[in-house]
Structure formats: C-alpha cells, structure tokens
Structure 1
Amino acid sequence: MSNNDLPAHLHRLGLTPEEAEIYLAMLRTGHTTAADLAGHLGWRPKEAVQAITRLTELGLAAGGAPDGSEATPVDPAIAFDHLAHARSAELQLAHTAAINAYRDYRRSVSPQARNDLVEVVTGTQITERILHIEGAAESEVLRFDSPPYHIPASANPTEVRNLERGVEYRVVYSKSAVQNHSYYTSNIQPCVAAGENARVLPTVPVKLTIFDRRLAIVSMSFVEAEVNDSLLLVRPSSLLSALTGLFETSWRSAFPMHCSNRVPSALRPIQARILELLGAGVTDDTIADLLGISRRTLSRNLEQLNSKAGTDTRFQLALHAARNGWM
C-alpha cells in the first residue's frame, strides 16, 4: 500500500478529511504547533486546534499544551484497533437496520411476498444470487450435487477460495455428476484436492445447497428445469430444518469418494483413484475415461487390487475397502 492510499483508509476508519490531512502532516513534521500546521496547510489556527484536539481524543496524537496548540503523533496501533472495532459495530447496526427495513417492506409493500420463508428466483437473477450467497458463506456449506447446473459445469473458484479461508464443504454427488468427465476433472477433482469432503450416491433426493444452516437453495431437476427454470431460497424454518436433516441422513449413507489414511501403502496412486471411483458406482468405461487409461490397464490394476484384498469381483473389492477403512 502506498502513502497515497492512506487518506482513503483513514476515512474508512472514521476520520474526517481534515483530521486525516492534519494527521498525515504531523507524521511528516513530528512535534509541532497548531500555528505551524495551520500555516503549512493554509488553515485557520482555530481549525488546526480543533483537529488536533480530536486526534488527541482518538489517541492518535499527544497534546503538548492544555489548549491543544501543540501535538506529537503517537503509535496508532491501539487507536486504530479501537476505530476498527467501532466501525465494525456501526456496520453491524447498519446490517441489522437494513434487514429490519427490508422485512418491513416485505410485510407492508411487496404484494407477492407475505411469507419471508421461501423466495422464488428466476431468469437472469439465478446465477448472480448463487454466486453472491456462496461467496458470503462463513463456516459450512452442505450440498447435493447433480445436473443440470445453473452455473456452467466447470471450475468453482468460489468454493476453492472459501475452502482456503476455512469454510467446510460436505458434498454428496450423484453418480451422473461423477460420470460427467469434464465436470469431474474441472470441478470435482480440484474441489476435493482443496479440502472438500465428498461422497456419492446413485441419485440424490433433490438439488440442494445449505449455507451456514441459515439459508438453502433448492434447484430444479432435469424435468422441472425444462418447464420452469427457477430456484427456491429457503430461510430459517421447519422446512430448512427438514432439508438439513435430509442431507445429514443421506451423508451418513453415502459412499466416500476419497481414500482414508488407512489405505495400504503398497497401493499406487492410480489404484487409490480406481477405488474411489469404484465406490462412486461408475462403470469401468467411465473409470478408464476419467483416469485417462485404457481398459486393459484398468483391468490389470483391478486384478492387482483384488489380489491384495483377497476378493474376486469389483463389488467385493469395494465392500472390502469400505469395511477395512480404506475409504
């Protein structure tokens, strides 16, 4: 950050333009008088005294005279922490006031919105709302993932950024999502690598994402999307609690998509990947396609895995891996 940016940052912390200007002047001059600062800045002495008095009250200056005619800049760390907390409190009050004002609007002005629990979003607003809501997630995202997708089925940089800042993701994929080669390589793999906890079911009961257990997005299935391309926003209610319970039940019964630390060290990385995809229930052709290997190479690795596990079929192998904590 350059010194040219500092006035703007000081304004955001609550200093007036005049206070910021005289504080920066004090940083250049050190101990000084109000008269000297006024002359340097082209102010009236009274204006300089008022600004110095205010900076002293904030803890950014130490007065050298009772009348505020002298001042020295001091270490701003404590003062800036106080200002930052004050601005944070003001933002929280503004946040609460804006929410209350919107609720009053929904109750008294908007004719179609007498119930705050469910909102229907359609058309061009869908993608914008999804990106905004996911970007604001604070601690946890729960998701049933299956086609079709309102956002192009490619990388999800928002999720990767959220994972980097500590947001937990638990995602249950449908088999159809895992079988989509481009989606698997560009979206699922990078998100799992970034820390997503992923599991898979043959099908998921509904297209659903729950953010911080306080807002859910329910999207349309293939059939529904052909008739009505829209989504529902569900706010705290018994419906949201039911959707959260549905996710948790499905999560417990879903099959993990990544190996645990109990997988035998003798397994090669490609064999571990094969185990993950076996658990996803996809076909051998799809596994070979997703891993970029031939069917012959896949068969050879399956034989080696069966030999290590003492099993004969791919089903027995997947069952053995699950029972022994490999996944």
Structure 2
Amino acid sequence: MSDDDLLAHLQCLGLEAREAGLYLVMLRTGRTAATELAEHLGWKPDEAEQALERLVEGGLAAACAPDRSEALPVDPTIALDHLAHTRAAELCKAQTSAANAYRDYRRSVRPQATDDLIEVVTGAQIIDRIRHAESSVESHVLRFDSPPYHIPAGANPAEVENLRRGVEYRVVYSKSAVQNHAYYAANIQPCIAAGEQARVLPTVPVKLTIFDRRLAIVSMSFVEAEVNDSLLLVRPSSLLSALTGLFETSWRSAFPMHFSDRVPPALRPIHVRMLELLGAGVTDETIAELLGISRRTLSRNLEQLNQRAGTVTRFQLALYAVRNGWI
C-alpha cells in the first residue's frame, strides 16, 4: 500500500491530514523529537508538537520524555478500532439527521401527505432502490417471488452474500417462477444451496419483499406491469404489518422446496431434487426440463425412489417422506 493510500485511509477513519502525515513519518523514523519531525515536514515546531500531542492522546503514539518532546509510534489496533467505531456512530447520526430533515421537508411541502409511509418509484430508480434495500438489510428478508422481474432474472449475488453473513431469507415462490428453467438454475437453486428457506404455492398473492420488517417493496404483477411499471415502498405502518401477516399466513400454507438434514445421505442428489420439484407441484415435463433429463430417465428414477421407500404411488411416497422427517 502506498503512503498516499494509507494517508487517505487514516483520514477516512477520522484523523486530520496533519496527524495522519505525522504518523506516516514516525513509522519511518521511530522515536523522534517534535523538533525533528517539524524540520522533516517543513512545519513550525508548535504545529508538530500539537499534532504529536493529538496522536499521543489518540493512542497512536507514546511519549518517551517527561515533557512529551519525543514520541514513537505504537500498535494502532485499539486506537483505530476506537476511531472506526466513533466514525460509524457519526455516520449513523448523520444518516438519521438527513432522514429527519427530509421528512420535515416533505411535511412542510405537503403536510397532509402520506409520503412518509408510502412512496411510488418508477423508471430508472426502480433497480437502484431494490439493490440499495437488499444491500442494506441487517437480519432477515421475507419474499413472494413471481415474474416479471425488474432486475434481469439471473443470479442474485447480493442474496448469496447476505446469507453468508447471517441474514435469514424466507421465500415463497410461485409455480411460474419454479417452472422458469433459466431462473431456477441461475437463481433459485444457488440461493437454496446458500441457505435460503424456500417454499412454493401455485400462485402468490402479491409480488413482495420485506426487509427487516421496516421496509416493504411491492411490485406490479404481469398485467399491472404492462400498464404501470412501478413499485411501492411501504415503511412501518399498519399496511406494512398487514403485508407481513399476509406473508406469514402464506408461508405456513406453502409447500417446502428443500428437505431437512434427515434425508438419508445415501439418497442420490438427483432424487433429492426430484422430490423437491414434486413438492413444488410442477409437471413431469417441467421436472425433466429443470433437471436436464428425458421423461424416460425421470420415470426410471421415480421407480428407484419408490423401491427405496417401499411405496407404489407418488402419494405414498410423499407420506413416506413426511413420516420420516425428510420434509
């Protein structure tokens, strides 16, 4: 890392330019008197003394003389952690202040408006607002997933990254989303593999994503999108509570798309995926297409599953899976 890069990083953490520059010099000179530092930097002696005093007070340098005329750099870990936390607190306070100022502005422009609770987003802003909400989520996401999609229906690296850092995702897919071969392979499968909890219904009541129960995004359906390509942002309110309740009710009635850890490890991966798709309610033709196999191969694998479970019909196979805790 260059000196310029390190200087910029130290200033981002809250050090003033003079303090950061002095610290960089001390990393090269070691124990040094303030007068020598001033000479090295072309500063006045009192300027170097003041900057050195602030470094000592901040924990980045240690005084080596009773009058603090000399100092040496010390391990910055604790001091920089403190600076980072302080900076984060300042940014949070600034964010809150800006949000409050904007709300005051909206109230002054339209005192009777409900813009604080519901916002309509259209056009080019749609994708940016969706991505910002997903990147800012802290703990959990609830989603009804159904076409059409504002963002191209491919991979969702933001969700995979959020799952990796501990964000919980519960998603109810419509059958039309699962039947989309490209979307199933590029988005649904990788997200389930990364830890998403997924269920399916023949249809979902609304296109919806709820972030941390503090923001909901309601998108248009196929028919509505043809007329009005827009989405609604819903903030904490009785409407948001109702949308959350709608999701929880649908979640309880939806069918699981992935199995528990009680599935026998000897069960072939293709058989697990077949059971998941059978539970999703899609046709044999769609299952074969999603798995990239022929209908004949699908039938042969279904026979193998029935033989393993000691069942004859698909209904019996489903009962066996439930009774043995696979689902």
1:170 is aligned to 170
Q: Which moved more, 1:25-34 or 1:271-280?
A: 25-34
Residue 16 of structure 2 corresponds to residue 20 of structure 1 = no
C-alpha distance 51-31 of structure 1, shift in aligned 2 (>3 A): same
**What is the alpha-carbon distance in structure 1 between the residues aligned to residue 266 and residue 162 of structure 2?**
34
The TM-score with structure 1 as length reference comes to 0.95
| Alignment correspondent of 2:144 | 144
Bigger mean CA offset, 214-223 vs 58-67: 58-67
Q: What per-residue deviation string (whole Å, max 9, x for no partner) do you get for residues 69-109 of structure 1? A: 22222222222222122112211211111111111111113
Q: How many Å apart are 1:310 and its aligned residue? A: 3.7
154-163 vs 315-324, which moves further: 315-324
CA distance in 2, matches of 1:204, 1:303: 32
Partner in structure 2 of residue 236 of structure 1: 236
Tell me, in whole angstroms, the C-alpha distance in 2 between the residues paired with 1:255 and 1:67. Answer: 74
Cα deviation, residue 187, structure 1: 0.8
Task: Could you list the structure 1 runs, at least 4 aligned residues long, displaced by more than 6 angstroms after superposition.
Answer: none
Q: Which piece of structure 1 moves more, 119-128 or 101-110?
A: 101-110
What secondary structure, in the 3-state scheme, does the structure 1 residue paired with 2:307 have? helix
Give the CA deviation at 1:112.
9.0
Residue 44 of structure 1 deviates from its aligned partner by 1.2
Matched-pair contact (CA < 8 Å) for 2:160–2:191: yes
Contact 1:106 1:114 in 2 (8 A): no
Question: What residue identity is the alignment partner of 1:190?
Answer: P
Q: Structure 1 residues 112 and 64 mapped into 2: Cα distance closer, same or farther (>3 Å)?
A: same
2:200 corresponds in structure 1 to 200
Task: Report the AA paired with residue 25 of structure 2.
Answer: A
Q: Quick one: which amino acid aligns to residue 91 of structure 2?
A: L
Unaligned runs of 5+ residues in structure 2 are: none
Deviations 1:193-226 (A, max 9, x none): 1111111111111111000111000111111111
Give how far 1:277 is off.
Answer: 0.4
Counterpart CA distance in 1 for 2:195 and 2:3 is 38
Question: Contact between 2:3 and 2:24, CA under 8 Å: does it hold in 1?
Answer: no
1:91-240 aligned at under 5 Å gives the runs: 91-109=91-109, 113-240=113-240
- Aligned partner of 2:188: which letter? I
264 and 63 in structure 1: CA distance in 2 versus 1, 3 angstrom threshold: closer
Query: Counterparts of 1:151 and 1:178 in 2: how far apart (Å)?
Result: 17
Judging changes above 3 Å, is the alpha-carbon distance between structure 1 residues 112 and 293 closer, same or farther for their aligned structure 2 residues? farther
Q: Is the partner of 2:153 in helix, strand or coil?
A: coil
Q: Identity of counterpart residues, as a percentage? A: 78
CA deviations over 1:161-196 (Å, ceiling 9, x no partner): 111111111111011100011111111111111111
Change (3 A) 1:261 1:64: closer
Q: CA RMSD in A?
A: 1.7
> SS at 1:155's partner residue?
coil
CA distance in 1, matches of 2:69, 2:244: 63
Counterpart AA for 2:16: T
Q: Choose 118-127 or 70-79, whichever is displaced more.
A: 70-79
Question: Bigger CA drift: 142-151 or 24-33?
Answer: 24-33
Residue range with higher mean Cα deviation, 283-292 or 41-50: 41-50
Quick check: 2:13–2:83 contact (8 Å CA) kept in 1? yes
